[in-house]
Each structure stands twice: as C-alpha cells, then as structure tokens.
C-alpha cells in the first residue's frame, strides 16, 4: 500500500510546510548567533598609549567599542579618533558582550587606577536591548554609569545603539520585538544622558533611520549584527558632530 499523497491533503501539507519554514528560519537564526559570537571573539580593540601632553580619551563599553565588524582595528571609532588626534592618549577598556552594568565596572576600574580623561566615548546599550529587562533597574544602572564617568572624564559622548530591528540577523517576527525594545531602551538612554549632561547620539533618530533603513544589509558586518567599517565611519562622523557641540577636545 502506498503512503497517502500529502500534497493532495492541504490540511496536512500546509502546516507541515509552515513548520518546515519556521524550523529552517530558526536554524538560520541560531547559525547567525554563532557567527556573532565567533566574530566578537576575534575582535581586537584599538588602543594607543602616548606619553606626550596631548588629549586623553577613554573608549569604553561593548563590542562596538572594541570595533567588532570593522575590517581593521584602525577602522573602529577608537582607530578613527587616533587618526584625527595623533597626539592623543587613547585608552580602550571595551569588552564584547558588555551591558550598562558591566560598563560601570569598566569606569570604576579606571577610577581606581587614578586615570582621568578629557573625553569618554561610550558605546553601550545594544546588549541590554537584546537580553536585559527594560525596567527601573536598567535606568538606575545608566544613572550610576554616568555618575561614575563624570568622575573619570570631563566630557562624555554616548554613541547609542541603533534600532536593532534593522539588523539582518533577526528574522521578521523577532525584528518587530527588537524594534519595540529598542524604542523603549533608547528613550531611557537619551533621557539619562540629558540628566547628566552627556552628549547622546541617537542612531534611531529619523535622519539616521533613513541612512540605515536603506539597503540595510550594506551597513552590517558578515554576522548581520555588528557594524561594518563603513558604519563605523558613519558613526564616527556623527560622534564628531556631537563633540562639536561641546568645548574643543
């Protein structure tokens, strides 16, 4: 006896096809997550120590502070700063995977070592959007971080995360969740920066949304999550504009 032809039984075939599609999408997503971790593990943060009496810059935060996704460490934000400020002492304590609470510890270690800086360039928020609870605890962690940074650096520029719903890594349904979480978290980050007098670069703002929303795959590294070199250059230009609102570096 031949098995029934499922193609002729839409009541069975359609759910099976939908299940197969969902399983394939989930498998591709987890494969992408593995690629994210592999790329992050290969990242090398840019740092250049100088003994001259030039500017002192602290770069701290997560994998975007490390420069994960850039072709070369010199094409990260820290590397681009070094090109523009050849006499600057650039200390980079960023760590892949860091959330706001971890970045507080980075700033605390600098304080404990007696380090002081003219400028802190803060890269943090993306990992909190992906995995943290968006509640009052996160807001308190943000306040604590910026209070600590005020003791470490004269000025802070916070390069906020973009709307993570744009990241090609996330399948359609999950990208909607990331959009909603990004909106809530970025609003909290921006308000916190305003309370503490830090310059906040909101990459989810309409002007940046137009840039990242168009041909979005071109703005991300091979893992579909981290920025690529061209996005770091774009982010650096926005950071320089934010620095321009402050006294000269």
Max mean pLDDT range (2-11, 80-89, 130-139)? 80-89
Taking alpha carbons only, the member of 232, 246, 141 closest to residue 198 is 246
Report helix, strand or coil for 118: strand
Tell me the C-alpha distance between 99 and 142, whole Å: 10
Tell me the C-alpha distance between 85 and 158, whole Å: 19
Taking alpha carbons only, the member of 131, 140, 238 closest to residue 188 is 140
User: What is the per-residue pLDDT for 24?
Assistant: 42
The residue-averaged pLDDT of 134-156 equals 95
The residue-averaged pLDDT of 25-51 equals 72
Average pLDDT, whole number, for the chain? 85
Residue 155 has pLDDT above 80, yes or no: yes
Q: In degrees to the nearest 10, what's the CA dihedral of 79, 81, 86, 89?
A: -90
Residue 92 has pLDDT above 70, yes or no: yes
Strand order in the sheet with 117-123: 89-92, 56-61, 117-123, 153-159, 199-201
Q: 32 pLDDT band (50/70/90 cuts)? A: low
Architecture of domain 12-244: 3-Layer(aba) Sandwich (3.40)
């Amino acid at each position: 006896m031949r098995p029934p032809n499922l193609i002729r039984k839409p009541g069975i075939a359609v759910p099976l096809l939908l299940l197969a599609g969902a399983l394939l999408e989930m498998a591709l997503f987890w494969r992408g997550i593995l690629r994210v971790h592999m790329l992050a593990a290969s990242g090398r943060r840019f740092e250049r120590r100088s003994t001259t009496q030039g500017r002192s810059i602290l770069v701290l935060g997560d994998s975007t502070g490390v420069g994960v996704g850039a072709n070369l460490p010199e094409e990260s934000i820290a590397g681009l700063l070094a090109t523009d400020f050849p006499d600057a002492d650039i200390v980079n304590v960023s760590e892949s995977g860091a959330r706001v609470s971890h970045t507080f510890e980075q700033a605390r270690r600098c304080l404990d070592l007696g380090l002081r800086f003219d400028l802190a360039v803060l890269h943090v928020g993306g990992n909190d959007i992906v995995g943290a609870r968006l509640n009052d605890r996160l807001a308190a962690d943000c306040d604590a971080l910026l209070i600590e940074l005020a003791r470490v650096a004269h000025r802070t520029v916070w390069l906020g995360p973009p709307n993570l719903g744009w990241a090609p890594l996330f399948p359609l349904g999950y990208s909607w969740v990331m959009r909603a979480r990004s909106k809530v978290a970025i609003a909290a980050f921006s308000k916190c920066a305003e309370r503490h007098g830090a310059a906040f670069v909101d990459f989810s703002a309409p002007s940046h949304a137009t840039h990242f929303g168009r041909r979005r795959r071109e703005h991300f590294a091979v893992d579909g999550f981290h920025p690529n070199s061209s996005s770091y250059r774009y982010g650096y230009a926005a950071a320089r504009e934010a620095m321009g609102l402050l006294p000269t570096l």
